[in-house]
Amino acid sequence: MMTDRNFGLKNKLFLIGTIIFLIAFLSVAFTFVISKSLTGTAAAINEAGRLRKLTYKIYLAHKGEDLSNFSSAITKFEKNLNLLRVGSRERPLFVQWDKMQRIQFLKIENDFQRIKEKWSKKIYLHYESIEIKSFIDDIENFVRALETRSIYLARLLQFSQFIMLLGISFISLFIFYFTRSFILSPIMQLHSAFEAVKAGKLDTKVSIETKDEFADLGTNFNDMTSSLNSIHSELKMQNRKLKETWQQLKETSDRYAALYDYAPVGYFTMDKSGNLLDINKTGISMLRMERASIIGQSFLVHVVERDASLFFQHLGDMLSNPNKIITELRIHDRDNKERFIRLESSTESDASVIRTVMTDISQLKNKTRQIDELLRENRQLTQSMFMVQEEERRYIARELHDELGQWLTAISVELNLITSDVGAYSGIKTCAQGVSACVDKMHTVIHDLQNQLRPPLLDTLGLKDSLRELKKEWCSHRPEISFKMVLEGDLENLSERINITIYRIIQESLNNISKYAEASQVKIRLSREQDETSIDILSLNVEDNGKGYNLNQQTDGIGVLGMRERVIAAGGEFAIRSEPNHGTRIDVRFLHAGSVDICG
């Protein structure tokens, strides 16, 4: 993470280095210039002294008429003047002329030229003359001016050296302060912080306000300690959870061991040959043997000989199919007491170890046998009940037809005689006609009731004509519904019980459709045929396109339940399918091999 900064550590160090370099460069350059000026000024002072000395020699040589010395002194004097003016390569003179010195020097040159002309003309000038004194004074003043400048430059050099020393001291202090504040202090803070983190204080923070790379390092250090603190907290939490989980695992392991050994079912593992590898205590108690005599032994020795093939088939299925395989067989203990067990086995893909759950189902088998016996008795009772019911219905229908029907016929005849004997406008005739209409209505009601109780065509014409008559009567009351009935196969020589069962199922189905289905189409198919194994099959399908209903939802009526019980009591199979808004379908089948009188 980078800190917002205006001047980084690199730039600060570069700036300090640049300042030090500039100060050093300027100091060296200034010292060099001053030193060179001092050197040139000293040389100029020496040459000016020679000029003064040469002035005395020229004067003495001229006065003594020593022409050789005079000419030599004159030549040297001119050479020294020229040297002071421009210097030379052998003796560089660094003289910074100011205006006064230049005027003095020019005056010396002019005075020398004038005196030289006089001396060349043999004009003698006394040493005490004003002209000579002025000339000598000019040289003296010039020399003193050079000495004064030399002293000034020397003091200036000393002052510059003092300023340099002061600047170096200031820079040293500044470097010390900068190093201490911007380098050593952050480093010491970071060192102390790292030592604190090393000691385990992960919440340690540093505060570095330098706004440079050290500030970035401090920010990164704070982020690092925050992350370490978070990780440490998470690790502590995970460690605590790990301890809790370990404790739970230990408790679970103990419970699992207890559950494994004392489970209500036997549990064992065996190899693909059927040899036992391990078994829990419940399994041992079911086999009624010692563990040492069981482990390594084939489970087959505990299987009843009649069921050995079932065990071999169980192993074969496990080798070919890794899914759960369930087999019921019988085992015996060392007392040769038999009991029924259920083996539920599963294995991995390599089938090296087979894990098996062994459940004692002896009581379940006994209860199932008892339930089957009770169910068989219940269905026999239901069958007898339906037979008695049909006999009662047949008896009531016959009584209605034979007794009540004859009496109504006699009443109708008597009413006709009364109507023919009385006058046309008699009130008795009107009453007789009203009674006759009531008798006719009673005839119709009794006829319908008789058909409901026992359709007469079923006994006289058979199942086909009875069903056609039922369709005709039902369609006369519901012409808006499309009714399609298909009758296939030999339906003439069925037993009376099958005939009445089929008739009642269709009758109840049509009654339910008219009451609840709100259908526009009804299809009934009744067929009798034989399959490829010569099994005689009688099939009935009743289907509508009505609103249907949810089979899992409980209904108030018992119509479907009554149909189911009637079919099962007659030895058939009953199935119903229905979904909301997808209609209802009822399927009934009766099976009997090689017999014409199905279930008869």
Segment 438-447, tens digit of pLDDT: 777 776 666 6
**Out of 83-97, 283-297, 580-594, least confident range:** 83-97
Q: Which residues contact 180 (CB under 8 A, 6 or more apart)?
A: none
Neighbouring C-beta atoms of residue 98, cutoff 10 Å: 11
Q: How far is it, in rounded angstroms, from Cα 559 to Cα 584?
A: 14
**pLDDT, position 407:** 67
In DSSP notation, 85-138 reads HH--SSS-------HHHHHHHHHHHHHHHHHHHHHHTT----TTSHHHHHHHHH
- Of 542, 552, 540, give the one whose Cα is nearest residue 580: 552
- Counting beta carbons within 10 angstroms of the beta carbon of residue 41, is it exposed (0 to 12), middle (13 to 18) or buried (19 or more)? buried
Take residue 359 and report the two structure tokens written for it: 């459940």
Give the highest mean pLDDT range of 95-104, 540-549, 566-575: 540-549
Mean pLDDT of 344-349: 79
Q: How far is it, in rounded angstroms, from Cα 471 to Cα 485?
A: 8
- Whole-model pTM? 0.41
Distance between the two ends of the chain, CA-based, in angstroms?
96
The fraction of the chain above a pLDDT of 90, given in percent, is: 6
Segment 231-261, tens digit of pLDDT: 878 888 888 888 888 888 888 777 777 767 7
**pLDDT, position 541:** 94
Segment 438-495, tens digit of pLDDT: 777 776 666 666 566 666 656 667 788 888 888 888 898 888 999 999 999 888 888 8
**Out of 98-102, 119-123, 145-149, least confident range:** 119-123
**pLDDT, position 593:** 29
Q: Which residue has the higher pLDDT, 590 or 215?
A: 590
Mean pLDDT of 379-386: 68
Dihedral sign for Cα 539, 545, 551, 557, please. Answer: negative
The residue assigned the tokens 């008892």 is 370
Question: Quick one: pLDDT band at residue 521, thresholds 50, 70, 90?
Answer: very high
| Residues 9/182, Cβ–Cβ less than 8 Å | yes
| Residues 360/344, Cβ–Cβ less than 8 Å | no
Neighbouring C-beta atoms of residue 132, cutoff 10 Å: 16
**Out of 367-376, 437-446, 579-588, least confident range:** 437-446
Distance of alpha carbon 464 from its chain centroid, rounded?
68
Mean pLDDT of 314-325: 80
Instruction: Report whether pLDDT(402) > 60.
Output: no
Residue 343, CA distances (Å) to 314, 319, 332, 369 in order: 9, 15, 15, 20
Q: What number of residues does the chain have?
A: 600
Residue 448, CA distances (Å) to 355, 451, 476 in order: 67, 5, 14
Neighbouring C-beta atoms of residue 370, cutoff 10 Å: 10
Take residue 357 and report the two structure tokens written for it: 């759950």
Q: How far is it, in rounded angstroms, from Cα 329 to Cα 362?
A: 10
Contacts 24+ apart (CB under 8 A), 282-287: 283/358, 286/331, 286/339, 286/341, 286/358, 286/360, 287/331, 287/333
Neighbouring C-beta atoms of residue 227, cutoff 10 Å: 11
| Residues 480/439, Cβ–Cβ less than 8 Å | no
Determine phi and psi for 106, rounding to 5 degrees.
Answer: -65, -35
Element spanning 528, H or E: strand 521-530
Beta bridge pairs of residue 527 = 488, 539
- Of 571, 575, 574, give the one whose Cα is nearest residue 592: 571
**pLDDT, position 108:** 75
CB-based burial, 302-333: b 16+ in 10 Å, e otherwise: bbbeebeeebeebbeebeeeeeebebebbbbe
Query: Taking each helix axis from N to C terminus, what angle separates 99-120 and 67-86, rounded to the nearest 10 degrees?
Result: 160
Question: Quick one: pLDDT band at residue 507, thresholds 50, 70, 90?
Answer: confident
Angle at 20 between CA 17 and CA 21, to 5 degrees: 85
| Residues 268/278, Cβ–Cβ less than 8 Å | yes
Q: How far is it, in rounded angstroms, from Cα 578 to Cα 551?
A: 7
**pLDDT, position 600:** 33
Q: How far is it, in rounded angstroms, from Cα 46 to Cα 527?
A: 156
**pLDDT, position 450:** 58
Dihedral sign for Cα 200, 202, 205, 211, please. Answer: positive
Take residue 446 and report the two structure tokens written for it: 């009794």
Instruction: Report whether pLDDT(62) > 60.
Output: yes
Take residue 150 and report the two structure tokens written for it: 């030399």
Give the highest mean pLDDT range of 12-26, 122-136, 155-169, 497-511: 497-511
Q: How far is it, in rounded angstroms, from Cα 80 to Cα 82?
A: 5
The residue assigned the tokens 């390569």 is 89
Structural Rg of the chain based on CA atoms: 70
**pLDDT, position 39:** 64
The residue assigned the tokens 């050079």 is 146
**pLDDT, position 598:** 35
Element spanning 584, H or E: strand 584-593
**Out of 120-124, 142-146, 296-300, 523-527, least confident range:** 120-124
Mean pLDDT of 71-85: 75
Q: How far is it, in rounded angstroms, from Cα 547 to Cα 42?
A: 134
The three-class DSSP label of residue 462 is: coil
Question: Quick one: pLDDT band at residue 371, thresholds 50, 70, 90?
Answer: confident
Residue 266, CA distances (Å) to 214, 257, 261 in order: 72, 13, 8
Task: State the average pLDDT for the chain.
Answer: 76
